[in-house]
Amino acid sequence: MTVEEVRGNSEGGDRNYDHFPVGMRVLAVDDDPICLKLLDGLLRKCQYHVTTTSQARAALKMLRENKDRFDLVISDVHMPDMDGFKLLELVGLEMDLPVIMLSANSDPKLVMKGVTHGACDYLVKPVRIEELRNIWQHVIRRKKFDTNKQGKSTYEDKALQGHGDVCQGHQNTGTTDQNGKLNKKRKDEEDESEDTGNDHEDPSTQKKPRVVWSIELHRKFVAAVNQLGIEKAVPKRILDLMNVEGLTRENVASHLQKYRLYLKRISSVATQQANMVAALGGKDAAYMRMSTLDGFGDFRTLSGSGRLSNPAFASYTQGGMLGRLNSPAGINLRNLASPTVVHPSHAQTLNNSTGTLGKLHPAVSPASQTASVFQGVPSSLELDQLQQNKSAMHIGDFNPMDDSRIFGAPSAFTDARALAINSNSNLTGVPNNSLMLQGNSQQILAGGGFVDQSSFPSELFNRDVGVSSKFVDHGRTNENWQSAVQLSKFPSNALAPNDSFSQGQLPLSSVRDNNSSAGPHQQNSPLGFSSTATTAAPLEDSRGEIQCQEGLVSGSVQNLSQASAQRWGVSKQSYSHNSNNSFSTLNPQASPPLSQSMGQTGITDRRMDMCLTGQSGVGISSFLQHSQVENPTTGSRTRSGEDYMLEQIRPQGGFVPNSYDSLDDLMSAIKREPNGSMFDGDMGFDAYQFGSCI
């Protein structure tokens, strides 16, 4: 039974469910064999097609292998190999599938946690069959919302796919909401053809209620959200503030949901990445593009196991991440970045303050700085680099386009990320580098900054990328190494390393070759971060603990494998995690890049945000927390593990902090979010706290 995936459906989402919900494909995850067997029986009784697994990682693997294989995921909260909430986030970010949480514990706090992490329902064991009979509604609901964004997504998706057409993403106005990105990923695959029309700004002209979240639209959205305050931001009020004709409350609600997830993600990633991205290239468009997608791509790849629990990031990656810039998500980033962009200058302080792992807080400012740094990065470079790096970073799908975009978009995204990263000082030698990486992968991409062009040794990247994507985890210092941040390595400018990125060049990500070494080195330890950008002149030291949310990096980094890293150009900022430990998350694989990058640019560390550039949600995987290593080691990644600060890319060179603004805001917003815990688990999202990253 089971409806075969209908690929190529224009709708992308439509499975051939002739008799839906009969045949709905459910993936059930629970370590308790009794419950699993029970669930299996119950679901079969409802005539769903059931796949069970007791391992969360196995579940993720299955999901990643084929996003279209399932329609819904039901997961236990309490599992030994991975926290259910983390899985939830990851799934939401990477695959944008509805997830239902299950637990024997009906504590309202847990239920709330489920909600904030994006679960579409929370069931208490023992589950009754009546409760399961209606779960199909979540699938339909999501599809409906996605359709709205479809247009965008497909568009983005295409872009991501490496259309190589940067403009595409660009045009797409990057808006694609963050979620859209996720959705897009899925959808895109399915309906490539679908939406191209979405062009931006056309909120509801189409027949289908698709809203293309163009950059401007997203900017307005972010501005509205910031104005209201992320906690108070309700769709109705946002809608009023935005004052856009034709936009419906549902559109906003859906976009907001994605945005929130994105924020969470980035926060963990540490704004650094965002910064990096911003620094990279200020090109919003480019940046956005960059991030979007690939970030997500990373997610997937990165995640390996890591949980990129930053769904938010995923979406966020848009901005920073390569790839889906087109998607609104990308735009979101931008916008996001702005509000949240913490001033890069502050970044440092923020980072420092963050002290707390994963707390992104104030770091936001640094993020902004970094962001600005990124911005400064010459977009042109980025683009080129991005293109080159395509291969490198490819965390997920890092399209060369993305690269360019990433830079362009560094804007918010990185910032946010940087912020996030910063806050988390988690980077402490995360013991699980691998995790980080995995999770980070997503983030890394997000780093958008990955413009790892050429020199970036893909491995560098990979490593970084894998790095901690969101390791914001509190405990995890590494986590946030968003190696992703590796903003592309702009060989030329960027790495001016030491000098700051700002030069406009995006040194940030420039993962310079030197940095790239970061890849290999990874892990130096805590950093696990992708050494990004070293290019950028040591971002000023954003010492702050920029937690690079390398998280993305980690996971993805691996995947990214070097090629992507290259693309990313993002030099993962080898953030030297100040705490050193923080990044351990970077998987060994990924970490090297970070460390390397750090050393390289002389900036060392700071730039972690490069990860921000992360594309797609990846989030800032490399948000490396910069511990500011400032090592000027230049070139050779000094970091070895030291604390690379992911510096938020402080505007050393004058990066474009702009983008950050939104990111910063984002970050701050995220911080404000009650749960920073998005990343409880691996992702170490302390992230929300962004700010600190930078």
Partner 1 sequence: MEGNQLQRQATHMRRTLFDQGYLDEQFIQLEELQDDANPNFVEEVVRVFYNDSARLIRNIEMAMGKNPMDFGKLDDVMHQFKGSCSGIGAKKVKRECTRFQDYCKEEDPEGCMGAFQAVKQEHATLKGKLDAYFQLTRQC
Give the interface with partner 1 as residue ranges (CB under 8 A). 32-35, 37-38, 41-42, 44-45, 78, 104-105, 125-126, 128-129
Please tell me whether the peptide bond between 126 and the residue prior to it is cis, using omega within 30 degrees of 0.
yes
- Please identify, using beta-carbon distances, which residue of 39 and 277 lies nearer to partner 1: 39
- Six-digit token pair at 545? 């603990």
Put the strands of the sheet holding 99-103 in their side by side order.
49-53, 25-29, 72-76, 99-103, 121-124
Q: Give the shortest CB-682-to-partner 1 separation in angstroms.
A: 19
Q: Where are the alpha helices (DSSP H) in 46-177?
A: 56-65, 84-90, 108-116, 129-133, 136-158, 166-171
- Please identify, using beta-carbon distances, which residue of 54 and 414 lies nearer to partner 1: 54
**DSSP secondary structure string for all residues of 432-496:** -HHHHHHHHHHHHHHB------TTS-HHHHHHHHHS-BTTB-SS-STTB-BGGG--B--TTTTT-
- Please identify, using beta-carbon distances, which residue of 110 and 437 lies nearer to partner 1: 110
Query: Distance of alpha carbon 102 from its chain centroid, rounded?
Result: 26
Q: Give the shortest CB-130-to-partner 1 separation in angstroms.
A: 10
Q: Give the shortest CB-126-to-partner 1 separation in angstroms.
A: 5
- Please identify, using beta-carbon distances, which residue of 110 and 360 lies nearer to partner 1: 110
> What's the CA gap between 118 and 131, in Å, rounded?
19
Q: Give the shortest CB-223-to-partner 1 separation in angstroms.
A: 45
- Please identify, using beta-carbon distances, which residue of 125 and 289 lies nearer to partner 1: 125
- Please identify, using beta-carbon distances, which residue of 32 and 216 lies nearer to partner 1: 32
Q: Give the shortest CB-2-to-partner 1 separation in angstroms.
A: 16
Nearest-CA neighbor of 356 among 665, 575, 582? 582
Q: Give the shortest CB-32-to-partner 1 separation in angstroms.
A: 6
Nearest-CA neighbor of 657 among 407, 443, 192, 341? 341
Q: Give the shortest CB-98-to-partner 1 separation in angstroms.
A: 23
- Identity of the amino acid at 307: R
To which residue do tokens 């998500």 refer? 329
Q: Give the shortest CB-37-to-partner 1 separation in angstroms.
A: 5
- Identity of the amino acid at 285: A
- Six-digit token pair at 146? 């996605």
Please tell me whether the peptide bond between 21 and the residue prior to it is cis, using omega within 30 degrees of 0.
yes
- Please identify, using beta-carbon distances, which residue of 132 and 212 lies nearer to partner 1: 132
User: b/e map of 634-658 (b: 16 or more CB within 10 Å)?
Assistant: bbbbbbbbbbbbbbbbbbbbbbbbb
Q: Give the shortest CB-110-to-partner 1 separation in angstroms.
A: 12
**Is residue 568 within 8 Å of 389, Cβ to Cβ?**
yes
